[in-house]
Amino acid sequence: MAAQRALRTNNEADHPSSPVLQFGPDKPLKLDAGTVLSPFQVAYQTYGILNDARSNAILVCHALTGDQHVANTNPVTGKPGWWEVLIGPGKIIDTNRFFVICSNVVGGCLGSTGPASINPATGRPYGLDLPIITIRDMVRAQLMLVDHFGIEKLFCVLGGSMGGMQVLEWAASHSERVFSVLPIATGARHSSQNIAFHEVGRQAVMADPEWHGGKYLDFGRRPEKGLAVARMAAHITYLSEAALHRKFGRNLQDREALTFGFDADFQIESYLRHQGMTFVDRFDANSYLYLTRAMDYFDLAADHGGRLADAFAATKTRFCLVSFTSDWLFPTGESRSIVHALNAAGASVSFVEIETDRGHDAFLLDEPELFAAINGFIASAARARGLSL
């Protein structure tokens, strides 16, 4: 079964189970790295119907290990979409009212051009020959997708974590193209601690002898052990100590006593090993390197002379920021600094800090307060935009 999922993941890199928009040499993607990506493609999903005025479009931006399958069954895992609890007919983001777009980011591994995609110049997977991708590059590709639909102004852009970084980049670089934004559990830059955790993960991947300098697909191999360790380390940052204690404590895994060995004696060890093993079946190791690097490079203030408020100068976009009290990956202070910058820029901004012990991953879970905040903001923005209920 794992081998079958791995094969499906490899097939999804170039021939995804979703619509694909291809851009030829006449439409290159200009990259922050100083080069261009051409040709390239963007894989995406849509839900709902775009109205005649093209005013009801919502762009959803996925997190580091997410994809375009936000509200439909994932073709690799067979599991429901990662935000299906929020998006769909009659749900908070009602696809009977809104036209929802979600694309796989450039650098990803489920259909948009990434390191597992075939390099047309060589006929082999890009591997590390793919130029470094930034959050701004991801947004540039999304803008080209939005233009394809003839959408002059998005009603809303929302997302959490790395998705929230994309949301902030939309608001900073293309504010005239978006009416409202909802960045969740994110920050205007990656902290040194976050960069450190990502570097541990990258080194785990690159230390795996099956990595082959990034050319593992040429050898028909995958650095599964290294990627699994990277996922295990990262997953700890998505939770909180309180949540870990509540779920696992020091409970033993399927045994009455310690084994005095290095098997998974504790439930938390078994849980992390499971997270690592299932992750390698659906995600490309080089994509993990590229996307973590994109997050590390993100720094909105540095992109605007060191002053974050200047990133949002004269913006007319409506903002709602959401943070979680137990999120130590992107603590509330990160959101507050953005709110202060938005206030300095004279922007329309609201802020919600949600009390929960679920940590960073709370934005992906069934959190009533989060849903209430999103529902209230979307409803208010819809009225201001003149979208009928």
The single residue of 103, 112, 117, 161 carrying the catalytic annotation is: 161
* Residue 52 assigned ligand-binding role: no
* Contact in structure between 102 and 45 (CB atoms under 8 Å): yes
pLDDT at residue 327, rounded to an integer:
97
69: annotated active-site residue? no
The single residue of 62, 69, 198, 360 carrying the catalytic annotation is: 360
Q: Can you tell me the distance from the alpha carbon of 389 to that of 381, in angstroms, rounded to the nearest whole number?
A: 11
pLDDT at residue 7, rounded to an integer:
53
pLDDT at residue 5, rounded to an integer:
47
191: annotated active-site residue? no
pLDDT at residue 236, rounded to an integer:
93
pTM across the whole model? 0.96
Q: 211-220 — which CB contacts under 8 Å span 24+ positions?
A: 211/285, 213/127, 213/128, 214/115, 214/127, 214/128, 214/286, 214/289, 215/125, 215/127, 215/128, 216/127, 216/285, 217/10, 217/116, 217/124, 217/125, 217/127, 218/124, 218/125, 218/127
Instruction: List per-residue pLDDT tens for the chain, 389 residues long.
Output: 444 545 556 679 889 999 999 999 999 999 999 999 999 999 999 999 999 999 999 999 999 999 999 999 999 999 999 999 999 999 999 999 999 999 999 999 999 999 999 999 999 999 999 999 999 999 999 999 999 999 999 999 999 999 999 999 999 999 999 999 999 999 999 999 999 999 999 999 999 999 999 999 999 999 999 999 999 999 999 999 888 888 888 888 888 888 898 988 788 888 899 999 999 999 999 999 999 999 999 999 998 999 999 999 999 999 999 999 999 999 999 999 999 999 999 999 999 999 999 999 999 999 999 999 999 999 999 999 999 65
340: annotated active-site residue? no
* Residue 231 assigned ligand-binding role: yes
